[in-house]
Amino acid sequence: MVGITGVIAAILISDYQFGLLGLVAAVLAGTMFGALNGIVFAKFKIPSFLVTLGSLSILSGTALLMTGGTSVPYRNPGVRDIATGHVIPGVPNLVVWGLLIYGVMVFVAFKTPFGRYCYALGENENVADLSGVNVDRYKIGAFVVSGLLCGTAGALLTARTASAAPGMGSGLLLQSIAAIVMGGTALTGGVGGPHRTLLGVLVIGVLANGMNLIGVQSFVQDIVLGFVVIIAVAMSMDRRKIDIVK
């Protein structure tokens, strides 16, 4: 999603002079893709892993088709300032955006019915259903939020680099999973949240930066990150909720 939303933004800015509206279009596109994933998952009862794996291939292929496999640069200093400017002196706008999104997501998770029902679904979907929660609606809603955030990431990454490429988000997949599980969010559901994910992001960031400083090769970093994910999942999984692991 990051790749294709970034490509959409770059094409609209470069070829159609959309300016900042190109970034807005990227966010809306991500939201739409998330909603489609959620609908297929919730309404057709297809495992979310397979839905998102399929959409990964579809969206990646579409981005390659749209660009011919090449990057899409643009020239628009106003758009780039959205990411690289300094609303607060000495603080890049990307940091401001990150903290703002973090604050919004913490509020949504803990102070809104949507957030609390998402925790309820993760803890025990059957109980939530018997309690009158519209399970499908909140499942789709979770995918919509995910798509919106992916679109935002694509828009900000495109603004930062003044270009977009089909594969520019590929490196974020494993890092995102690693940050989530490192932060203590259980893949079995019901435990975790954005407040913990921030800690995971900091751990992964410090780990990656440290390996860069000591000269660890990039492919060795991938090996280390893979081990980190496996260990973190093993430590965070609540085995009381699952009798059989498939």
At residue 215, the pLDDT reads 93
Domain end among 150, 170, 190:
170
Q: Do residue 82 and residue 200 come from a single domain?
A: no
Q: Do residue 152 and residue 222 come from a single domain?
A: no
pLDDT per residue as tens digits for the range 6-59: 999 999 999 999 999 999 999 999 999 999 999 999 999 999 999 999 999 999
Q: Do residue 67 and residue 151 come from a single domain?
A: yes
187 pLDDT tier (thresholds 50, 70, 90): confident
**Average pLDDT value over all residues in the chain:** 92
Domain region containing 181 = 171-246
pLDDT per residue as tens digits for the range 50-76: 999 999 999 999 999 999 999 999 999
Token pair 């680099």: residue: 161
Q: DSSP letter string over 73-122?
A: E---HHHHHHHHS-SBTTB-HHHHHHHHHHHHHHHHHHHSHHHHHHHHHH
Q: Do residue 191 and residue 166 come from a single domain?
A: no
Give the span between the Cα atoms of 246 and 242, in whole angstroms.
10
Q: Do residue 134 and residue 181 come from a single domain?
A: no
pLDDT above 60: residue 245: no
Q: Do residue 17 and residue 132 come from a single domain?
A: yes
Contact 73, 163 (CB under 8 A): yes
Q: Do residue 161 and residue 175 come from a single domain?
A: no
Domain count, the chain: 2
| Higher per-residue confidence, 175 vs 86 | 86
pLDDT per residue as tens digits for the range 156-181: 999 999 999 999 998 898 889 888 88
Q: Do residue 54 and residue 125 come from a single domain?
A: yes
Q: Do residue 157 and residue 177 come from a single domain?
A: no
Phi, psi for 170 (deg, rounded to 5): -65, -35
Q: Do residue 120 and residue 241 come from a single domain?
A: no
pLDDT above 90: residue 93: yes
Domain end among 143, 170, 197:
170
b/e per residue, 52-75, with b = 16+ CB within 10 A?
A: beebeeebbeebbebbeeeebebe
pLDDT per residue as tens digits for the range 105-154: 999 999 999 999 999 999 899 999 999 999 999 999 999 999 999 999 99
Q: Do residue 30 and residue 149 come from a single domain?
A: yes
Domain end among 147, 170, 193:
170
